[in-house]
């Protein structure tokens, strides 16, 4: 079976069409069989030329060899002919009482009356090199980065701020840098207005809002709240570990990566790689490790431990945060029943008369897919009081079986401890220890067990999760605190419960046509923290580690406790001649009104991945002659990641976040380029070589040599003002 046939079959499955169906007989609402686009091969737009041969590039084998023999990468956001990208906001722009933050990620569009709308934006993390290079220009004031780096050099680049004397000259330097970085993280809301030239920002809107990494630190009224059982842990007076003295009050939010919208108009923002700024490890009662476990670091290449100078408790980060963009004075809430882990992705299902269901993923090698089921039921999906349903219910984790079935396992005290054993991975040639909550329950964090005998001994000591997270006290809140401790340590608790280790689940989205869940698994790799299960996640030729990722379709079997589901892998990243669709590292997903799937990528480059060029945005048509293919809609600037695709209500605008341009090479000076050599394969299977020219660094969006790049949000539309992919 050749690569293009495999891709077509995979994508037919992805879009819910049987592999035996005739794609030519299926007409998309956006692809009229009699339209001019159909006469031109059915293309809804002229795809942007990718740097490698694709099944839909319209070229014969000889033409592919000629066209792709040389290729020049551009430091621009490339969109199809007949389209235009406009910059909506960029790092450093004023926003509410703060500024538009750094490394914008998830975007949520919500219409308002009279041609206006709100755009919610996540700000994820700091890319030290380009942040340091551009801070003065973006913010208008310098930072003492060089003096601080020099002062920390004798300490290995890091320090626990609590160990410093009150008058230590390091303190004000650290405070200045840490506060500036925290001000660039979190969540923002801005207002837009539609005009003849598309969407424009309204400055100074009453809806403007900025929640950053330190919101509530100086002004208590700006602090965040917590719902669910973890609040009982936060307010408890006797803990094994660190207490920040704030009770249920939470300072700020950071590491805000993916997200989702609810049918009632609120926005969910996922705290992902929080472990870079505060300690992830917790004790058996859910209390945090001390801030000293994650010291402040600035060594010129890493800016970590931002929570350390402020004494932040690590157990209060790694949650799903809910805000109401229309109500800027209502406190944001971290919903603990959605679990604490490296949150990526959230998909909400709200059907009248049924429980609220929320799907999410933990973006790490060996992370898991989770499902929350509310105790109460939805009456009206548009009712803004539905947020109360997050306060009671159960969190479950997915256990996949190789036969395409699966089960949801509740993360509760009576759940049996049955972790996977190292021998399971050894059958696939991998040496992967089993990572579990530390066997000494007076210690925080995890331990790695390297043999089946160790795992079996562990299971004999801890029969159920309640043994790992025991009841503390006999007061009325003891059981609530126990469940809170499990939720706070959700990833390790899921490991103990035998959940399936997954290859970085980065996004979840609901198919609007049938309610299935689509999951983007970015890459099957491994590190000291975990490895995806090779019995479930295998490359096109059975590879145990597949660096290019997949998209999975999961059909849920109901909301009952312990219910099952069916799953199938329906699209694979990778090179076309190796069984992939031409992209690598699928990340954020979005469905358009016609049910076509839009997908953006996030590969880090480097050996084996440079061949895919800059990260990009793809359209996977649901039906018609193009079903089974992936069309390149946009290519980002150098070393960026494209994030958060979302559409306006009329499907005339695609909003994209351009994150960390120039992250590796930094500021592009002049027109410097490097040459790369890549081995490609044409559509007839003949190998040929490509010489590629790649800019060193980025100047996006200004394009001015020597000027630092800046993350920003763009709006893409057709020049004729029509629907994004109409004929």
The pLDDT-based confidence of 450 (bands split at 50, 70, 90) is very high
Contacts of 152 (CB under 8 A, 6+ apart): 158, 159, 170, 297, 298, 299
Report in angstroms the alpha-carbon separations of 522 from 77, 444, 494, 584.
Answer: 22, 29, 20, 8
Q: Measured between alpha carbons, how far is 608 from 528 in angstroms, rounded to an integer?
A: 21
CA dist., res. 597 & res. 615, Å (int):
17
Least confident segment among 19-23, 482-486, 604-608: 19-23
Backbone dihedral angles phi then psi of residue 56, each to the nearest 5 degrees: -105, 20
Q: What is the pLDDT of residues 212-231, one digit of tens each?
A: 999 999 999 999 999 999 99
pLDDT of residue 269 exceeding 50, the answer is yes
* Residue 406 to residue 410: CA distance in whole angstroms: 13
Q: Are 275 and 491 in contact (CB under 8 A)?
A: no
Percent of residues, the chain, with pLDDT higher than 90 = 89
Helix (H) or strand (E) holding 356: strand 355-362
Residue 520 near residue 551, CB atoms below 8 Å: yes
Mean pLDDT of 642-653: 97
**pTM, rounded to two decimals:** 0.93
Q: How many CB atoms lie within 10 A of CB 113?
A: 6
* Per-residue confidence band for 2, with pLDDT thresholds at 50, 70 and 90: very low
Task: Give residue 42's pLDDT.
Answer: 61
Question: Are 467 and 417 contacting, i.e. CB atoms less than 8 angstroms apart?
Answer: yes
Residue 197 CB neighbours (<10 A): 10
Per-residue pLDDT of 283-314, as tens digits, reads 999 999 999 999 999 999 999 999 999 999 99
d(CA 580, CA 603) in angstroms, rounded, equals 14
Give the whole-angstrom CA distance, residue 516 versus residue 533. Answer: 23
What is the pLDDT, as a whole number, of residue 222?
96
Burial 569-586 (b: 16+ CB within 10 A, else e): bbbbbbbbbbbbbbbbbb
Q: What is the pLDDT of residue 268?
A: 98
Contacts of 502 (CB under 8 A, 6+ apart): 361, 362, 366, 367, 368, 369, 398, 521, 532, 533, 536, 537
Q: What is the pLDDT of residues 347-378, one digit of tens each?
A: 999 999 999 999 999 999 999 999 999 999 99
Q: Of 438-442, 626-630, 635-639, where does mean pLDDT reach its minimum?
A: 626-630
CB atoms within 10 A of CB 463: 13
Average pLDDT over residues 639-660: 97
Per-residue pLDDT, 727:
46
CA separation for the pair 347, 368 (Å, rounded): 15
Write out the DSSP string of 537-592. ---TT--SS-TT-EEEEEEE--SSTT-EEEEEEEEE-S-GGGTS-S--SEEEEEE-
Asked whether 386 and 356 are in contact (CB, 8 A), the reply is: yes
**Does 31 have pLDDT greater than 50?**
no
Q: What's the whole-number average pLDDT of the chain?
A: 93
For residue 357, the tally of other CB atoms under 10 A from its CB is 21
Radius of gyration of the chain (CA): 25
Total residue count of the chain as it appears in this document: 727
- Whether residue 673 is predicted with pLDDT greater than 60 in this model: the reply is yes
Bridge partners for 576 per DSSP: none
Question: What's the whole-number mean pLDDT along residues 672-676?
Answer: 95
- pLDDT, residue 626, reads 84
Is the Cβ–Cβ distance between 575 and 608 less than 8 Å?
no
Which pLDDT value is given to residue 292?
Answer: 98
> CA dist 683 to 9, 171, 631, Å?
17, 61, 16
pLDDT of 29 strictly over 70: no
Helix, strand, coil percent values for the chain (each to nearest 5): 20, 30, 50
Q: Are 77 and 634 in contact (CB under 8 A)?
A: yes
Using one digit for the tens of pLDDT, what is the confidence trace for 521-575?
A: 999 999 988 999 999 999 999 999 999 999 999 999 999 999 999 999 988 999 9
Q: Is the pLDDT at 32 greater than 80, yes or no?
A: no
Mean pLDDT of 237-265: 96
Sign for the pseudo-dihedral over CA of 37, 40, 43, 45: negative
Q: Tell whether omega for the bond before 701 is within 30 degrees of 0, i.e. cis.
A: yes
Quick one: pLDDT band at residue 607, thresholds 50, 70, 90?
A: confident
pLDDT digits (tens, 9 = 90+) for 384-423: 999 999 999 999 999 999 999 999 999 999 999 999 999 9
- Rounded to whole angstroms, the Cα distance separating 210 from 214 reads 11
CA distance 275 to 317: 9
pLDDT at 474: 81
Contacts of 656 (CB under 8 A, 6+ apart): 77, 85, 107, 600, 617, 634, 642, 643, 644, 645, 713, 714, 716
Q: Residue 617: pLDDT band by 50, 70, 90 thresholds?
A: very high
Read off the pLDDT of each residue in 671-690 and give the average, rounded to a whole number: 96
- Residue 9 clears pLDDT 70, i.e. is over it: no
């Amino acid at each position: 079976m050749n690569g293009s046939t495999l891709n077509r079959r995979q994508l037919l499955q992805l879009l819910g069409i049987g592999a035996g169906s005739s794609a030519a007989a299926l007409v998309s609402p956006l692809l009229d069989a009699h339209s001019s686009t159909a006469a031109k091969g059915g293309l809804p737009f002229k795809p942007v030329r990718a740097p490698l041969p694709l099944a839909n590039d319209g070229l014969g084998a000889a033409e592919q060899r000629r066209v792709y023999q040389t290729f020049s990468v551009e430091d621009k956001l490339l969109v199809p002919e007949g389209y235009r990208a406009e910059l909506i906001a960029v790092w450093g722009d004023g926003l509410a009482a703060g500024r538009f933050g750094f490394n914008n990620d998830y975007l949520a569009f919500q219409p308002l009356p009279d041609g206006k709308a709100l755009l919610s934006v996540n700000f994820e993390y700091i890319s030290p090199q380009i942040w340091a290079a551009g801070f003065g220009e973006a913010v208008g004031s310098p930072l003492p980065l060089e003096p601080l780096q020099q002062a920390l050099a004798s300490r290995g680049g890091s320090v626990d701020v609590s160990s410093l004397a009150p008058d230590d000259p390091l303190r004000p330097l650290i405070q200045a840098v840490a506060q500036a970085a925290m001000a660039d993280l979190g969540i923002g809301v801005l207002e837009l207005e539609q005009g003849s030239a598309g969407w424009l920002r309204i400055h100074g809107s009453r809806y403007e809002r900025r929640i950053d990494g330190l919101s509530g630190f100086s002004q208590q009224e700006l602090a965040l709240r917590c719902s669910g059982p973890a609040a009982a842990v936060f307010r408890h007076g006797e803990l094994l570990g660190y207490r920040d003295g704030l009770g249920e009050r939470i300072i700020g939010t950071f590491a805000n990566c993916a997200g989702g919208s609810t049918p009632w108009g609120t926005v969910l923002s996922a705290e992902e790689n929080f472990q870079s700024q505060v300690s992830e490890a917790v004790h058996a009662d859910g209390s945090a490790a001390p801030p000293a476990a994650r010291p402040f670091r600035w060594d010129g290449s890493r800016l970590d431990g931002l929570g350390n100078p402020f004494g932040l408790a690590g157990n209060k980060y790694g949650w799903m945060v809910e805000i109401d963009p229309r109500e800027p004075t209502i406190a944001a809430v971290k919903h603990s029943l959605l679990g604490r882990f490296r949150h990526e992705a959230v998909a909400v299902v709200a059907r009248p008369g049924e429980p609220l269901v929320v799907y999410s993923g933990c973006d790490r090698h060996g992370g898991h897919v989770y499902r929350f089921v509310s105790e109460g039921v939805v009456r009206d999906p548009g009712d803004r009081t539905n947020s109360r349903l997050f306060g009671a219910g159960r969190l479950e984790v997915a256990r996949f079986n190789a036969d395409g079935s699966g089960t949801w396992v509740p993360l509760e005290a009576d759940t049996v401890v049955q972790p996977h054993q190292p021998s399971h991975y050894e059958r696939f040639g991998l040496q992967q220890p089993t990572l579990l909550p530390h066997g000494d329950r007076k210690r925080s964090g995890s331990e790695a067990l390297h043999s089946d005998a160790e795992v079996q001994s562990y299971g004999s000591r801890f029969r159920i999760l309640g043994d790992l997270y025991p009841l503390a006290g006999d007061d009325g809140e003891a059981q609530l605190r126990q469940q809170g401790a499990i939720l706070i340590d959700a990833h390790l608790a899921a490991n103990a419960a035998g959940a399936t280790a997954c290859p970085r689940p980065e996004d979840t989205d609901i198919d609007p046509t049938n309610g299935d869940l689509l999951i983007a698994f970015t890459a099957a790799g491994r590190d000291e923290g975990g490895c995806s299960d090779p019995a479930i996640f295998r490359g096109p030729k059975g590879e145990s580690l597949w660096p290019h990722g997949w998209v999975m379709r999961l059909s849920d079997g109901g909301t009952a406790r312990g219910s099952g589901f069916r799953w199938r892998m329906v699209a694979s990243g990778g090179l076309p001649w190796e069984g992939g669709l031409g992209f690598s590292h699928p990340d954020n997903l979005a469905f358009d009104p016609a049910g076509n799937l839009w997908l953006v990528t996030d590969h880090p480059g480097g050996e084996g991945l440079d061949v895919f060029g800059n990260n990009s945005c793809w359209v996977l048509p649901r039906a018609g002659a193009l079903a089974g293919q992936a069309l390149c809609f946009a290519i980002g600037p150098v070393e960026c990641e494209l994030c958060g695709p979302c559409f306006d209500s009329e499907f005339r605008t695609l909003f994209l976040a351009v994150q960390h341009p120039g992250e590796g090479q930094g500021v592009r000076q002049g027109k410097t380029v490097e040459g790369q050599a890549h081995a490609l394969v044409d559509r007839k299977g003949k190998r040929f070589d490509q010489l590629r020219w790649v800019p060193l660094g980025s100047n996006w969006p200004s394009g001015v040599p020597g000027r630092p790049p800046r993350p920003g949000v763009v709006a893409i539309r057709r020049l004729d003002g029509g629907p994004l992919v109409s004929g």
